[in-house]
Structure 1
Amino acid sequence: MEIKQLEVFLAVMSAGSITAAARLLDRSQPQVTRLIQELEASIGFPLFERNGPRITPTAKAILFHTDAERFLTGIGRLKERAETIYKEEMAPFEVAAIPAFAGGIVPLAIAEMPESLLPRNVHLRSISAEAAVQSVLSRTADFCVASLPIEHSGLEVHGLFQSPCVAAVASDDPLAAKATISMSDLADRCLITMANPFRLRRRVNQALEAVGVKPSRIVDTNASLNAVRLASAGFGIAIVEPATAYGVEMKNAEIRPLDLDIPFLFGIFSAASRPLAAGVEELIQLIIRISAARMPGFVAHDPGHIERVADVTFGADQPGQEH
């Protein structure tokens, strides 16, 4: 198995055809075909089903693609790191964050970084909480910002935080005239919220059950930005976390507090016993300061109480230092 074979495989997966991959790589079609065949012979299974000029990835190719992409990305980062060592430059920042933060607050924090602490290369990945934690544990990310629950002995906790969820509605929705949106306002309306049943969605479901409210329809998504945009189009009322609501500017969307506290819980984590560069530490502190400034009801919890904080449910009053 050679790197050039993996590069061709990723190009075909990305472009969707041998012809397009050849153009992308500035190679001939026969070269691309030959390298794919050599890779298939090396790994022992077919990567594409061929039907005339059309190709379709096999199920095994789809599974293989994730690891191949991760490997080549790592090779690229290794070359980049070698260059920074040679030039005696600062190491790149590797940041993993859930979409709620990768789309708003983390970029705001990066933009405020002092030039003297900012390296030439910064890598920000928007991924799930589970994947973000694994990135830290595998040392492919310096730190991550992720929603709770998270429990792992290999993590150092740089902060645990809480802020109430909010509602997003279209600017021309009658509810936009209200200072606070009540849970009862969701009755017979379309609710737009998150999909993951083990994180924020669980607390939203608990809140709906507690007040006996049944929306007419529920639309879920894996990113709050999608939910807010649906709400801004007048499709329904979104219940989202405050990082997206107050970290990203939205057109035709109004953000309102809810009459019931549905807590959004998140933390910042790095690998245990891994020293962080001064610039990385500064970026973490900027993320915390911007979050505290933008999120109403922001609370910082004791980092040593991660299990107790992760169990916070809607309407709960937990001890913490308010900012």
Structure 2
Amino acid sequence: MKITFRQIDAFRTVVSTGTVTEAATVLGISQPAVSRLISDLEAEVGFQLFQRSSRILVPTEEARLLVGEVRQAISGMEHIKQAAAAIARFGHARLTLVTTPTFSTHLVPELIERFAAVRPEAMARMEIEANDDTVEWLVSQNFDFGITSNEPMNPSFDSLVLNNEDVYCVLPKGHHLSGRALVHAHDLANESFISYISTSRFRFEIDRFFAAKGVERRMQYETRTTDAICRLVAHGLGVAVVGSSESYLKSIPGCIALPFAAPLSFRSVLFWSKQRAFSAVANDFLEIAQKSISAN
């Protein structure tokens, strides 16, 4: 089977535009040329790609399956082009960082901002992954740093604790517990509870604490970030237990953050692989992270 890029490009464009005429205009070639490319592709794949409905070409079910693969492949090519352009522009001055969602809206952007002040010519890439295990795997493969809420157990990693925050109970304004100086687990019995997603290790620690206390909550909502949890609380959907700085929680309108009585803390941990040599920009980023600890 010999499929050419021109055939694929014509196929994708006809799917998008719905007609050979418009596809020819987009591609800058003649209508017969587009039709010939589609016919040649059908001959190669061995099935019909389009059915005519009035003046519109409707993709067959097989074509719909194929175009999904085509779009994914073209997206991969676009990523390669962007990476090549970045390498040409920045050379090896490239930092890669992967984090869980909790730190993607607050901590990591602040670190990247400080990094940009030191390395304005460098490219920085931040990826967001749902759970700690995936973050650790990506750092073991090719990322410079990872940030999660736990120190990795794998001895091939080294780590730095950036923050060790207290745990707070977040309530909507006007909640009957809002006058308390300290909230206990039993105060939240049968309350509608907003949690971190189930793959979060911190969520596991919170759930284990409530289970040990024998306190039942109504587990109605869950989301990925502290910010999103607090926004749901502010809309009156429930209460939550989160790890964050008190000043940050107080900045979110509609919420009240009260100390929560539990032997829990919420860490932000930067870690990296000891198996891979540091680049110059990675060294700079680590120094920035170390300075951020003393600044806090």
TM-score (norm 1): 0.65
For 2:41 and 2:140, the matched residues in 1 are separated by 30
CA offset digits 1:9-57 (Å, max 9, x no partner): 9x99xxxx7249xx9xx94598999999999999999999x99758989
For 2:210 and 2:141, the matched residues in 1 are separated by 38
Of the structure 1 ranges 125-134 and 199-208, higher mean CA displacement relative to structure 2 is found in 125-134
Secondary structure of the 1:284 match is helix
Secondary structure of the 2:198 match is coil
Of the structure 1 ranges 260-269 and 90-99, higher mean CA displacement relative to structure 2 is found in 260-269
For 1:64 and 1:76, the matched residues in 2 are separated by 18
CA offset digits 1:154-197 (Å, max 9, x no partner): x4313246544322222332333333222122112111111224
Q: Which runs of 5+ in 1 are unaligned?
A: 295-323
Partner of 1:111: 113
Partner of 2:265: 263
Equivalent position amino acid for 2:125 in 1: H
TM-score (norm 2): 0.70
Pairwise mapping of residues 125-164 of structure 1 onto structure 2 (< 5 A)? Answer: 125-128=127-130, 129-139=132-142, 141-148=143-150, 150-152=152-154, 155-160=156-161, 162-164=164-166
For 1:82 and 1:18, the matched residues in 2 are separated by 32
Q: Which runs of 5+ in 2 are unaligned?
A: none
- Report the aligned-residue RMSD: 4.7
Partner of 2:124: 122
Cα deviation, residue 207, structure 1: 0.9
Q: How many correspondences in the alignment? A: 279
Identity across the alignment (%)? 18
Q: Highest CA radius of gyration, 1 or 2?
A: 2
Partner of 1:310: none
Is the contact made by 2:189 and 2:216 (CA closer than 8 Å) also made in structure 1?
Answer: yes
* CA distance 1:67–1:277, shift in 2 (3 Å): same
Partner of 1:95: 97
Partner of 1:225: 227
Residue 73 in 1 paired to residue 79 in 2? yes
* CA distance 1:112–1:164, shift in 2 (3 Å): same
Equivalent position amino acid for 1:73 in 2: H
Is the contact made by 1:104 and 1:247 (CA closer than 8 Å) also made in structure 2?
Answer: no
* CA distance 1:232–1:247, shift in 2 (3 Å): closer
Secondary structure of the 1:111 match is helix
Secondary structure of the 2:177 match is helix
For 1:160 and 1:130, the matched residues in 2 are separated by 18
Cα deviation, residue 82, structure 1: 2.3
For 2:274 and 2:39, the matched residues in 1 are separated by 43
Cα deviation, residue 259, structure 1: 0.5
* CA distance 1:250–1:2, shift in 2 (3 Å): farther
